[in-house]
């Protein structure tokens, strides 16, 4: 039996639902509805119900969703009911800020190591970490069994770093460099480029 293919745009909305559910749980809430979730997120209730139905039946008509139950189910679906170690490549401003950020630990992610190829940065402290030499990146990441990495290097270096990460066994890359990467089909890449989002917003400004 072939696994059901879920559209990536649907998968992309699941973390938004999970974040809202966690906020509601922190408020002491126990039950919500697709209508309320939609109002919080700017997504139609029908779209939310359609998205969730791709994975099963999680609510009942007239009673809505039990927040804790749906939160746990979404964590399972997104595979964040466990901790994922992350390797960061690039100890510049962005990479260092990410390494120091404490918000990952309660979301299923944990920065495990950070690399750079600048001799002035290798061996220095960044938050709780000592910057490692990028020359040893493939061996160290592979030995640690890390599957998730972040690239925070200049655009000119990003593809070379991506190639090494793939060689090390990384299967998910968050790329801060303003360039598209070429990776094998089994490797997922997400891009974070603030300029793209700024340009998208300024379209609507006079």
Tens digit of pLDDT at every position of the chain (206 positions): 345 688 999 999 999 999 999 999 999 999 999 999 999 999 999 999 999 999 988 866 667 899 999 999 999 999 999 899 999 999 999 999 999 998 887 788 999 999 999 999 999 999 999 999 999 999 999 999 999 999 999 999 999 999 999 999 999 999 999 999 999 999 999 999 999 999 999 999 98
pLDDT of residue 141: 98
pTM for the model stands at 0.88
For position 61, what pLDDT does the model report? 66
Domains delineated in the chain: 8-77 (1.10.10.10), 84-196 (3.40.50.720)
Say which residues have a Cβ less than 8 Å from residue 62's Cβ, sequence separation at least 6. Answer: none
> What's the distance, CA 155 to chain centroid?
20
What is the reported pLDDT for 108?
86
Closest CA to 129 of 158, 82, 90: 90
């Amino acid at each position: 039996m072939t696994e059901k293919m879920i559209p990536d745009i649907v998968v992309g909305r699941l973390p938004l639902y999970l974040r809202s559910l966690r906020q509601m749980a922190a408020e002491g809430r126990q039950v919500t509805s697709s209508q309320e979730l939609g109002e919080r997120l700017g997504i139609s209730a029908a779209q939310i119900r359609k998205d969730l139905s791709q994975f099963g039946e999680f609510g009942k008509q007239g009673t809505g969703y039990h927040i804790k139950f749906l939160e746990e189910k979404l964590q399972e679906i997104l595979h964040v009911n466990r901790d994922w170690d992350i390797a960061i490549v690039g100890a510049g401003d962005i990479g260092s800020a990410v390494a120091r950020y404490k918000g990952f630990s309660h979301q299923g992610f944990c920065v495990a190591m950070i690399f750079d190829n600048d001799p002035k940065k290798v061996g220095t402290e960044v938050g709780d970490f000592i910057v490692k030499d990028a020359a040893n990146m493939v061996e160290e990441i592979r030995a640690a069994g890390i599957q998730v990495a972040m690239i925070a290097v200049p655009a000119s270096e990003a593809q070379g770093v991506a190639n090494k990460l793939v060689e090390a066994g990384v299967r998910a890359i968050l790329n801060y460099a303003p360039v598209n990467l070429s990776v094998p089909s089994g490797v997922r890449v997400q891009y974070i480029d603030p300029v793209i989002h700024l340009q998208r917003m300024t379209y609507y400004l006079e």
